[in-house]
Structure 1
């Protein structure tokens, strides 16, 4: 629980830490708005194609519509979260995402489906970046990567649920089972929006057991008094217990964040991840069923396996990045992801398909967590949503282009071989692009001296 100390600053009681509540609710929001809203579509593509008469290109265009909506909101989501507070932005984003999913279930054709997928994407864009920024701000540097990794476990949980639930609904209800799937997950997401608006809290800056708002004049005075007594004013004012510099308006410049060359470089690396991973996750089920003659139950089981492994990958690689550094972690997960996509591009045995699912599940969901932690390390918790929002624009471009390109290639060739080879090649380029990255160059470029 939170009460007040003598100076009026919020205080956390010794036996409670609200950061974990924020993490739990944030994970629930990720599960509904992002996991179900974006990744659940992959399991429903074959049924929606049959019901709405869509080609692979049109199926890819629906994913692109969703990601264009996501991209449009991502351009504003981080800045809106910084301006109005993450709680409101996240809560409303979950609400819009849930509404879009419900309306997708009413779609009469590809065009209306694309409109409602775009609406869902707008909601997702209002959730993903602000939630990662919020969780990053609540946790110290030493736990930040792990916390955001756990947060993204919500996406993995969505893969598990959709892998188990969707095939059963599709089998029981036939051609229109996909509509019930959207009604169900959309309704649950609408409920989640109420929980998020009620229980999420905007970030504080940690100082022992006292949590203070970054612009609290009272706490600034207290900190200054203590600093004078210690004889090292500059150090005490510019760093907190976690080792993260408070990024207030006197030290950080919005324009420098948005014009930073190193941040742009990080964004381009993130773009390659967005392009490659979205092709894999969007057309994974379609690849298995159309090109390899898997049943929807077998494809769903592999989708579920991918999800179970994804549950641990975020926390695992988040810990790895906290312990060994962000750059080595990004290189490792990019290499593993690229290999997994290349394995699925081959028309090999069941062993290669299972190995591909295992490697993808153990790697790909960790990338957003590491990127969020990297931004928070470089520019501080307050400006992290803005920096993360900027690089997510690049990420969104990759995601928006990938599905349509892959669908068109599949229609042209009659299978998804070339589409998955292209995704693997772009992933390899991204791995090489990580090598010149330097955290200090990002931090220096975003600070006003």
Structure 2
């Protein structure tokens, strides 16, 4: 049986162009698509789940070993996120220009190096450097991984595909919750160092696996007896393409709302284990169990909210997520009782990665799949500023109040403000308002590439 056709030339060309357009057939089918999606999950698992979120569980032991204050502990998280922010735009732009595969692989290897430096640090300064390097590598890997999947699915499944990739964060939470307390109990007070080295080795393995499995986009080739079509300039080669990303007011408005999300959620996550141990009297094992429950709840997050966003709209879905998170943060700030703690963990878990996944889909909606990594990287800078500021402000507030209660109430207020802003937001560009397409990935990418090129010319 011959390979199925993925459609004819891009929509929007003249009739002469359409008559002469080649018929395309995939050189890689559905099986390759699922391999790429699986690779994206593991890339996010390594770049964020292991490199970043493991810090929450390692923090109490690392803080004791290096004798860090709460402000310094927040500063390490800030250094990591500053590195992430510094690389987000560069990594996204490089992925748009040269392809995601090599950028992702290099990013994972750099993140692993930063984890090694963190594990070997003897004082605060080297630890800051290690966390910064990890952040740079995490951005180089995770930003393209979230947007690369948009090229492999129809446009009406973009948020769902990005949500599947975001599941890698959940896998990280599920793993580190029980694993790190077990390793600490087995290896003793200095076990946090060996833990960083072990996790770094896992990230290296993921990098090598991704280099073998990942592809930048579904490869297409002309059917037999047909000449290749004349090459059209890619969107990233047109200066107006970059202006559409960096100089559009609606993109900046969306970035401001992404800042509020990042500020609140990272303040919550960074000190979650510390809140349970220091303020509520939980043992490390019990706190790890609650963190694991949060991770299990988050397994459905990306897929659930990607599905919701594809059906009810991106802004509505993100506003609802922020409202739920505001409740989760406030509950943990008001009480450390078993019920409020569990409800807070589950509410955060089922919404944790919804906004980043939807933002990845919005990036493709706004500027098209070719420039999506660059757009998502630019939005991630706002997110990074929020994530860098949140833990630092929360840590300083805890040092003053001698409890994290005020920090979590602050996070709840910031998330609520973000929900109000998202409700008022109206996305720019006709692409987001057009009827959802049910075309195949190749047809969707071809038509959108032509459409966005038309807007830029």
Match among 291, 294, 297 for residue 285 of structure 2: 297
Match among 283, 286, 306 for residue 274 of structure 2: 286
Q: Match of 1:17?
A: 31
Whether 1:413 and 2:421 are equivalent positions in the alignment is no
CA contact (8 A) 1:338 1:428 kept: yes
Distance 1:326 1:199 in 2: 30
Q: Match of 2:302?
A: 314
Whether 1:139 and 2:139 are equivalent positions in the alignment is no
Q: Match of 2:162?
A: 148
Where do residues 112-191 of structure 1 align in structure 2 (5 Å cutoff)? 112-191=126-205
Change (3 A) 1:202 1:371: same
Where do residues 93-112 of structure 1 align in structure 2 (5 Å cutoff)? 93-112=107-126
Deviation at 1:193, TM superposition (A): 0.9
Q: Match of 2:374?
A: 386
Distance 1:278 1:305 in 2: 18
Q: Match of 2:456?
A: 448
CA contact (8 A) 2:92 2:143 kept: yes
Q: Match of 1:199?
A: 213
Q: Match of 2:354?
A: 366
SS in 2 for 1:105: helix
Deviation at 1:10, TM superposition (A): 6.5
CA contact (8 A) 1:342 1:424 kept: yes
Distance 1:136 1:395 in 2: 20
Distance 1:28 1:287 in 2: 29
Where do residues 238-253 of structure 1 align in structure 2 (5 Å cutoff)? 253=241
**Where in structure 2 are there 5+ consecutive unaligned residues?**
6-21, 433-451
Deviation at 1:347, TM superposition (A): 2.3
Deviation at 1:13, TM superposition (A): 6.0
Change (3 A) 1:204 1:424: same
Distance 1:318 1:247 in 2: 26
Superposition TM-score, scaled by structure 1 size: 0.87
Distance 2:152 2:239 in 1: 20
CA contact (8 A) 2:108 2:138 kept: yes
Match among 29, 38, 43 for residue 43 of structure 2: 29
Deviation at 1:379, TM superposition (A): 1.4
Distance 1:220 1:28 in 2: 36
Q: Match of 1:342?
A: 330
Distance 1:291 1:262 in 2: 41
Whether 1:403 and 2:391 are equivalent positions in the alignment is yes
SS in 1 for 2:51: helix
Change (3 A) 1:250 1:53: closer
Q: Match of 2:104?
A: 90
Distance 2:350 2:316 in 1: 16
Deviation at 1:114, TM superposition (A): 0.8
Distance 2:365 2:229 in 1: 22
Q: Match of 2:250?
A: 262
Deviation at 1:120, TM superposition (A): 0.5
Q: Match of 1:323?
A: 311
SS in 2 for 1:438: coil
Alignment size in residue pairs: 415
Superposition TM-score, scaled by structure 2 size: 0.86
Change (3 A) 1:316 1:219: farther
CA contact (8 A) 1:9 1:219 kept: no
Q: Match of 2:8?
A: none
Deviation at 1:135, TM superposition (A): 1.1
Deviation at 1:441, TM superposition (A): 3.7
CA contact (8 A) 2:328 2:347 kept: yes
